[in-house]
A and B are shown apart, each in its own frame.
Chain A
Amino acid sequence: MSRRERAAHRATIGLAACLAAAALAATLAGTASDVELKQTIGTVTAVDPDGRRISVITGCGHALRVMVFHAGTACRIEVGGVAAPLTSLSRGQIVAVRYRTGVEPFAAESIAAPPAANAEGER
């Protein structure tokens, strides 16, 4: 990837993070009547296997937000490109979540994580 491409990539992810926060806000405010498919990338702060919920911290600058997702049985979860159970995710892991807005907690359609080497630790 060239420097220019990396710079564009950095800006794109930043915009995506901010827009994901925007989707969260619209839903919380009750102004989003239409369900939209969104994606956000953030760090796992909690996993609730019994409630099939996962909490992810993301945001825009220092305006940080925690997004809660429901990972139903139809949700595709992958770690390092391999299908995995919800319990394979853990606090500190970076995940990309595709989800539907409109209903709280948001319904995750897919959750993808790199190999679990970055889980736990100083986050």
Chain B
Amino acid sequence: MKPAVVGWTAATGLAAVGLIAAACAPKQELGDPLNGLSREELARFAAGREEFEKVFIPGTGLGPLFNANSCAECHEDPLALGTGDEVEVHVAAFDPATRACDPLVDRGGPVIQQVATPALKAALGIDGEPIPVAATARAGRTTPDIFGFGLLDAVPDAAIEALADPDDRNGDGVSGRPNHFFDGRLGRFGRKALVPTLREFNAGAFVIEQGITNPEAPTEESIGGSPIPEGVDPVAEPEITAEAVSLANDFVRFSAAPAPRPLRQVECQQCHVPALKTGENPVKALRNRTVYAYTDLLLHDMGPELADICLGEASPSEFRTEPLMGLRLATSFLHDGRAKTLEEAIRLHGGEASSSRMRFEALSAKERESLLQFLRSL
């Protein structure tokens, strides 16, 4: 039996057991906390929502450059932790000859802030951060829903590494590989899978998205690499406490994943692996749980048509397999929202995903609609 088939069979079995267990668990609505949280964890989830929804103004630390004034400004649809219509701009410089990737940190990258506070605008006359001249590519980044991302955080590195097949030894044309952060740890969060943990992602996001410094990410973003002018950022660093970051993180971490739907075999499971299992975890509700995420959290080459920026070890055309849990909430598709329908998104899959795209195109109209209906149910 081919390894991919063994993997699918195992995943199906695991998923079936998990779905039976899920069916026996209390019914959860979108936005609910995980089942099995302690009273204290539930209290932190509730308090964390307030931090997540807190609206900042310049007088409380917003900016001087930012993309949003609250976590929930972007993650808002249909409720906090959901999707949003904002499209961010990320940049990098990639040298094809050496394959060296420069995220242009000393010139304002990789995340460009598109809004300036009134004080910064008055000082410099800019509406947002300029795009670095050295950028070889710019990327659009939509806001994904993040329900259940604590479960992705709790998947052991070894489980992700076990799915990697960088040299395509099983000959299926798919060769996923992990990205790594700059200190060598395995990455999993972000469209390029650079960030190792949910907490780091969130602590960093306070700064790069809102200009809110905190003890773990205490430096304001530069303005295209230049320092912030005197007097435009009146709040001393750090602008929020570590506890505020922890609470916001717990709101994300303790959120339940969108309810799983019955699994079916699709032609995409080599990358969109239906189920992952969490490992040991101090939080019982996150320990040894199955998450129907439909991702392997690995990088795959999606072909030149979708290529944009590099990041860490990810080349311009490599992207992390997007989790499909919560797909029913999406109103645009792919990393930059260029696809307005699911079918269009599938038809734009290239590179390693070309064979899956061709299998989709070979389906009858009825079969295609059946698959699309299934995907819309996730």
A43 CA to B100 CA, complexed, in Å: 12
* Given contacts A7-B281, A10-B157, A17 and B183 within 8 Å (CB-CB): yes
Contact A62 B216 (CB under 8 A): no
Asked whether any CB of chain B lies closer than 8 Å to the CB of A94, the reply is yes
Contact A25 B219 (CB under 8 A): yes
User: CB within 8 Å of A: which of B192-227?
Assistant: 194-197, 199-205, 207-208, 213, 215-219, 221
A96 CA to B216 CA, complexed, in Å: 19
Contact B204 A94 (CB under 8 A): no
Contact A60 B217 (CB under 8 A): yes
Tell me which residues across on chain B come within 8 A of A62, comparing CB atoms: 110-111, 190, 194-195, 201, 204-205, 208
Residue of B nearest to A41 (CB): B183
A31 CA to B182 CA, complexed, in Å: 27
A32 CA to B312 CA, complexed, in Å: 31
Asked whether any CB of chain B lies closer than 8 Å to the CB of A121, the reply is yes
Contact B216 A15 (CB under 8 A): yes
Size bracket of the A interface: 35 or more
Contact B279 A7 (CB under 8 A): yes
Asked whether any CB of chain B lies closer than 8 Å to the CB of A22, the reply is yes
Tell me which residues across on chain B come within 8 A of A11, comparing CB atoms: 197, 199
Asked whether any CB of chain B lies closer than 8 Å to the CB of A92, the reply is yes
Contact B190 A122 (CB under 8 A): no
Asked whether any CB of chain B lies closer than 8 Å to the CB of A52, the reply is no
Contact B219 A57 (CB under 8 A): no
Tell me which residues across on chain A come within 8 A of B101, comparing CB atoms: 122-123
Asked whether any CB of chain B lies closer than 8 Å to the CB of A29, the reply is yes
Asked whether any CB of chain A lies closer than 8 Å to the CB of B123, the reply is no
- Tell me the smallest distance from the CB of A88 to a CB of chain B, in Å: 18
Tell me which residues across on chain B come within 8 A of A40, comparing CB atoms: 183
A24 CA to B204 CA, complexed, in Å: 15
Contact A42 B183 (CB under 8 A): yes
A100 CA to B36 CA, complexed, in Å: 45
Q: Mark B285-301, 1 if CB is under 8 A from A, else 0.
A: 00000000000000000
Contact B201 A66 (CB under 8 A): no
Asked whether any CB of chain A lies closer than 8 Å to the CB of B103, the reply is yes
Contact A122 B217 (CB under 8 A): no
Contact A61 B205 (CB under 8 A): yes
* Given contacts A17-B183, A123-B312, A66 and B213 within 8 Å (CB-CB): no
Give which listed residue, A22, A42, A120, A123, contacts B216 with CB less than 8 A. Answer: A22
Asked whether any CB of chain A lies closer than 8 Å to the CB of B158, the reply is yes
Contact A29 B237 (CB under 8 A): yes
* Given contacts A29-B237, A59-B204, A61-B201, A41 and B184 within 8 Å (CB-CB): yes
- Tell me the smallest distance from the CB of B302 to a CB of chain A, in Å: 16
Give which listed residue, B203, B219, B281, contacts A61 with CB less than 8 A. Answer: B203
Asked whether any CB of chain A lies closer than 8 Å to the CB of B99, the reply is yes
Give which listed residue, B99, B105, B208, B218, contacts A121 with CB less than 8 A. Answer: B99
* Given contacts A60-B204, A62-B205, A63-B208, A6 and B183 within 8 Å (CB-CB): no
- Tell me the smallest distance from the CB of A19 to a CB of chain B, in Å: 7
- Tell me the smallest distance from the CB of B72 to a CB of chain A, in Å: 18
Contact A10 B280 (CB under 8 A): no
19 interchain pairs (CB within 8 A)? A3-B156, A3-B280, A7-B156, A10-B196, A17-B181, A18-B200, A19-B215, A21-B216, A22-B217, A25-B218, A42-B183, A61-B189, A61-B201, A62-B111, A62-B195, A63-B207, A63-B221, A122-B99, A123-B313
Going nearest first, the 8 A-B pairs with the smallest beta carbon separation are A61-B204, A18-B216, A63-B204, A25-B218, A41-B183, A25-B219, A60-B217, A43-B182
Known contacts A25-B219, A29-B237, A62-B204, then 6 further A-B pairs from the complex at CB < 8 Å, ordered by chain A residue: A3-B156, A24-B219, A25-B213, A58-B182, A60-B217, A121-B100
